[in-house]
Every structure is written in C-alpha cells, then in structure tokens.
Structure 1
Amino acid sequence: MGGAVERVGDLGEFGLIARLTRGLPQAPAVALGPGDDAAVVAAPDGRVVATADLLVEGRHFRRDWSGPADIGHKAAAQNLADVVAMGARPTALLVGLALPPETPAAWAEDLYAGLAAECAAAGASIVGGDVVGADAVTLAITALGDLGGAPPLTRSGARPGDVVAVRGALGFSAAGLDLLERGASGPAELLAAHRRPRPPYEAGAEARAAGATALIDVSDGLVRDLGHVAAASGVRVEIDTAALPVPAVLGADGVRHVLTGGEDHGFAAAFPPGRVPAAWTAIGRVAEGSGVRVDGRPFDGGGWDHFPRRPR
C-alpha cells in the first residue's frame, strides 16, 4: 500500500515556498530570483511593462476539467500575452497562490511546473510571489516586460485606412468550453485549447517590425477587444466574416466562436496598408466613426465580461 499523501498544510508556508521555487530556471534578465525579500529584474530600457490577473477556482478554471499543469500554463499565458500585446518582451512573473491546506503538495508542484514551462516558452522566469491558505485555489499573477527602447504598442493608435489583422488561434477555447460544459470528449484539439492556450509570443515583435499602429491581446472575444481599440483610437472597426480564419474543427458555430470567444490569447492589430506580416490574417479595416461593425452592421453579440449588467 502507498504512503499517505503529502499535503501543502504538512509543509507549512515556508516549506511549500521552498518546494515550489526549488530549481526554477532564471532568465538572463533576472539579477536575483526567489529566496529574498524581493527579486531584482533588469530593466535596461528604464521602463517596466507590468500587468496582473486574478484567477479564481470555479470561475476561471475547474480542477475537474483541467490538471494543475494546465492551470499553470493558462495562468501564465494570459499574463505573458498582455505583455506581448504592448510590444514588449516578457521578463518575469510573480505568483500569488492561495490553496486549501488539504491540497496535495504534488498538485501545487505540478501547477508551478506548468507556470515555469509557459514562462520558458516566452523567455521569462518566475522570480517570486507568496502562498497563503484559503478555501479555494486562487492565483494572482503579475507579469513584467521590457520594451527594449521602443514605445509601447497601445490600443489608441489605429487610424482610418489601416488594415485589421489577427494572429493565433481564435474561437478554439470557447468551442472547447462548450464541449466541456456538455460533457463531450472531443475534438481533443478544442479541449486542449481551452485547458492550455498557446499564444504566439512572437506576434509582438512581428507587429512592431511591420509598423503596427495598435495591438491588443484577444482575451475577451474578438469583437469586444476590437471595440476597446475602436474606443481608444476614436475610430470604427469593420470586420468581414468571409475573411475570418474559421477552421472546420470549430463546427457549425465557428463564426460565433471566432467573433465572441475569448481565452485563446491570440492578437489583433491595425497595420498601415500593405504592411500586414505574412503570418497574420487580414480580417477588416479601420474607418471613420465608432464601434465595431460585422459585415457592415453593428454587432453586440457577447464576449466575456466579469461584471455583466443585470436586468433591472
């Protein structure tokens, strides 16, 4: 018979921190990693790109749907993608982790393995954080990045006449979530996309090199996120559904998933005419006006909102 399962409560706060941070690889930008009162990360540009997200069990992930490594990958990816969306290079991740004391220690270690692996894919490192006891698993992630001397790519620079283009998967995570909610077992590609998104981290450098005027991470749905670009830039964004990348695997609701599904963490950008990079797909244009139109009509068809308006 096997021995008793080791729980995080058995390790205590400092034992758990030591277990989770032991052997974490550190990228060249990290001058001092985990183990002191704070980390030291190089900022040769003189500015630091910073972003944070909060993930709560039952709302952002379910442990019966996703393994701990999947949750770690997803938590890191959504923050690293936000850094890339500013045209920056990710450098470091800080992890705040709340866990029930009865959580198996191996579960927490696998979570950290997923976080570390996703950081490695983006060229970043976990440099510190905190752990506390709680009734449900919660992660508070802060990501840092370096602009390398260039100005940030923001949502506010799109101009009439620009071409709107996208990079990375769209709609896959939403389709996978639909499958999980129905208890379906496939297609596996869609389930995997929801559990472990794969942002194209090279997209930021590609967009900057091509002279992008605006860039955003598609996390809340393509239409909703392009609405942020339209509002910040004072323009209208027009989408042509015939140009959208809608693979057959997305099924009959593919167009809806692409337009409204979030959490794939692909990217949308505005480019001057003739400057769309080869790996990107042109899906529309920027025009005078406001809001987002799909095939020439106003669109208000969803997307993610943490605090949706309640009917009165």
Structure 2
Amino acid sequence: MRPFTYTRANNKEQALQAFTATSHYLGGGTNLVDLMKEDVERPDQLIDVNNLDYKKITSNDKGGLTLGAMLSNSETANNKEVRTNYPLLSMAMLSAATAQIRNMASNGGNLLQRTRCPYFFEVSMPCNKRDPGSGCGALNGMNALHAIFGYSDSCIATNPSDMCVALAAIGATVEVQQADGTSRMIEFTDFHRLPGDRPEKDTTLSQGELITAIHLPKAEFSDHYYYLKIRERSSYAFALISVAAGLQVESGVINKAGLAMGGVAHVPWKLTKAEEFLAGKKPTTENFEAAAELEMKDAKPFEANKWKVDMGKNAIVRALTQAFEREV
C-alpha cells in the first residue's frame, strides 16, 4: 500500500473543501481499502466522512423513505420500515457478502463499488478501467463471468452490487452534494454509466461530489417481491446473475412491474422491455417466459459466457414466479 494522508471531516463543508483530484472519500472502506492493498487505487488522501450526519432513515415528500448515505448496509436492511415497505431492497442487501462486511459497508459506498473483474485487480494485466489506453484483457481472455449487455471494446466488466440491482428495480434517486455546496438529484438509472470509451469512469458523479442520501419512491412492491441471486457459494460470493423483481398486482392483473438484473452489464441492468410487456398482463408462467425472452434477445454474449443467456431467461422467470407467489 502506498503512503497517503488521512483527513477526518466533521461536516460536508470540510469534506468538500478537502477534496482534490487525487482524493477519495472513505466510508466503511470495504472495497476501497482492498483496492489500495492491491495497488489498484492509489489515492494521495483519504477523507473520512463517517462523522457526517447522514445516518438516518426518514420519510420524504414522495411518500417514500430517504436513506442516509453513511448508514451501514446492515442498519438499513434491518430497519423496520425498510423491511416492511421495501422488502425487495432488504432482501437484496442481506444477500450481499457477509454480516461482518454489511456491518461496515455504507450505503453510499455500496453505490460506488468497483468491478470484480480479475483483469482489473491484477495490475500486471491490461485494463482500460484501471489504466486507460492499456487495452481490455478480458475482451479476448477469460470472460465467462463478464457482460452480455451494454459493453464496449474498451471494457466488458460487470457491476458487482446487489443493493444497486434492487434500487434500479424500485426506481430510486441519489442525492449528492456538489463541490460548490449545492445539491443535485440523479435518477438511479442515470447514476451508473456504460463503459463506452471511458470505462475508468463508473458513475456520472463529477469530481468531489459527495453522496448524501438515497431517496426511495412510494412503496409499490411490498406484497409481491423477490431477489434471486445465483452464485457459486452461498456466502461471500458475487452474483453470476441476479434478478430483482417487484410486482404490483390488482384483481389478478399486473398493474406495474419493477425489474433489474445484476452480473450482466457495467451497470445494474434495468429490464424496461419486460416491465412494459408485463403491464396489464396476468401473472402467468407464459407471460413471464415471454417477458424473459423479449428482454434477453438483445444479449450479445461471448463464446465463454453464452450460458448467461439461458440462465438469465430462467432467472427472470423464477424471480417473477417467486415474487408473485410471495404474498405477505
């Protein structure tokens, strides 16, 4: 690990003023510190934001909840209001990593997790995300676990977060403090970005912007929901494929669906086509299969990860079936 300076901010003004082009904000550090140990991240300064007053869960003017960015994943997932009104989010968060990591990881930090692509972690290998212009080692390398949607020749890595998949399905909004002290709102589907020719930039945040809150809309999927996570082992493993499914069912008809996938793209992949197809349909296996087929037909797998297409279809159908049958 390379030398760095440590600054503890007691308010947002101190955090914003201390930030430079070579700084990183430090929350739980469960991802950042690992990357520093591997010499992937090389900040000259860490700005500890754990003392900032963004550790509450409150009601918002949209009829939903606002989650403080510095609150831990465990505190958020186990909060009574979250478990009652946003059980899809709670379920997704509790499937992530281990209890020890969830106790440390912050909500804001979860949104900023970096890919687990082995070419990104191995500094001797080419990786445009880590070293722009060096090439993508995975493109013609070992890519069985890589993206099948939205990638570019510059990067085929995937987003690792479980929490973010659920937030995409729910339709959350992220609030950030800008360098000039003002705040702005970012729709969750606009927060992460596809790699294009700048894969080193994971999000649409500008330099120095600080995540302060995640706003959830009015609860819509508290009765019919399911988070399906397919992984190689049941703990401390990232998703091969995951699906967050929420359904609003009235009089035997789907009024609204919220769907997103993980493990398939550089961003939490919103299943817009499937959502639109299911609206007004009955919650039947046939309709779930048709929605899955519609969504997965645009997948562009590599030879080594063609299995993700069939698994993705089956995962969507299974998640939707479980969501419909899981009535509270």
TM-score, normalised relative to structure 2:
0.28
User: Which is higher, the Rg of structure 1 or of structure 2?
Assistant: 1
Q: Which has the higher contact order (CA 8 A, sep 6+)?
A: 1
More strand by share: 1
